Structure 1
Amino acid sequence: MEETGLRGNLAGVKHILLVLSGKGGVGKSTVSTELALALWHTGKKVGILDVDLCGPSIPRMLKAQGKAVHQCDSGWVPVFVDQDKGISLMSIGFLLEKPDDAVVWRGPKKNALIKQFISDVAWGELDFLIVDTPPGTSDEHISTVESLRPYKPLGAVLVTTPQVVSVGDVRRELTFCKKMGLRVIGIVENMSGFVCPHCSECTNIFSKGGGEELAKHAGVPFLGYVPLDPHLTQSLEEGKDFIQEFPKSSAFPALAYIAQQIMDSTAPQGS
């Protein structure tokens, strides 16, 4: 019975992208959100499944905090974050009584909720479902991959920052993908340079190129560099409309380029 339910709620989803990183603090949730918006700007219908149970930050980014998840015949209805219902979001943030509540759960309970998110959310018709995962290669990742694997084309986008430590952690994430039989669509190097808000010059405050070098050695595609843009960060801090601010950002062309590569790599052969 469970398999039928899973197939039913994911039947209208064309592609599923898992956004992974080997460590925290690389901006994975931000990249997940920006990637969803970049795909949406090309006319795609996009869903975001936030399975980062201990740090559900995407509802805040998309000004969806405090919105309620409703029930329908086939399960939970995700929260729509734009008027045209082009972006839908499901997060544990919608299920907490207070935004500051901590999720103090052992693994089995987390895994059960992840499986419920996958089986019980009525996504409808989507071009892409982007799954924002917690950092690392824990049992939560295994639960997510194993629950999603039977039903749709599944691919992973790995996020790193330029530093050697972060690249080393992503190398372990590549090993995880290989062991799980998960196709790697490519690597994104985030925080690759700082764009000055006054002169628009990009300065490499960390190093640069670690992600591209890793992709070359691993034989997987390098999708591109995403700069740090204080304009976008400020919009989040001040509670501005991230959806409206994103196209004005210097990160937008970089994410639009990455989104195009993802669409090309997931397009049916010969189309």
Structure 2
Amino acid sequence: MNYLQAFILAIIEGITEFLPVSSTGHMVIASAIMGIGKDEFVKLFEIAIQLGAILAVVVLYWKKFFDFSKWQFYVKLIIAVIPALVFGKLLNDFIDEKLGNPIFIAVVLLVGGIILLFIDKVFTKPEVHHEAEISNMSAFKIGCFQVLAVVFPGLSRSAATIIGGMQQKLSRHAAAEFSFFLAVPTMCAATGYKLLKGYHLLNAENVKLLLFGNLIAFIVAIIAIKSFIGFLSKHGFRVFGWYRIIIGVVILALYFSGTPLHVS
């Protein structure tokens, strides 16, 4: 991997991590197209640069994350992240296998896109508009929705948790913000686990690439988060649904045209 490739993957991570379009699916396919998808460090890089995106959330919502008087906020995040940690560990081999299957990712993108086309018409009467109004049970149920994204690469953690929030009667705005908050412990755990498993890959040059990638992901994620909240509140999910469908079709077209997309 060179710095240009790292730059491209980091931009993809920063833009897509908090959008309901699957950052993992985009990075896996992009790395395969660039011919670096089979590299073990690249697989580590794709997970580890999530730290930059995490930092963007913490910086933008620093008052929320560092207001220790509101301990209930942290309890909700712990409750919500537990299902993903459990199933992520139990199904690690299955997940790794599906990450290397472009057909699986494309199909999940397509199905998720079709769902997003209609999701705004399903949840039309939100009752919860602020994080403080979310109950512990609702937080747990949103965390269960997140498991779907863990088990089915390409679904999008953001899409799953936002839809889970809306199913719990959160407004689009509140659901998106809680999805951002939940991303912090979820991605910290995933990144920490990946780094522990792949620490032997961290030579001096690779560490520089990781620092560079995290910086780019951080900058791009800040812009993406600010833009997404406003867009989602006004326009809903439909455009993201069509985007996912187009990307899914493109991946299938590339695969069946003979473009090498296998990454494992």
> What TM-score do the two structures reach when normalised by structure 1?
0.26
Which is richer in helix?
2
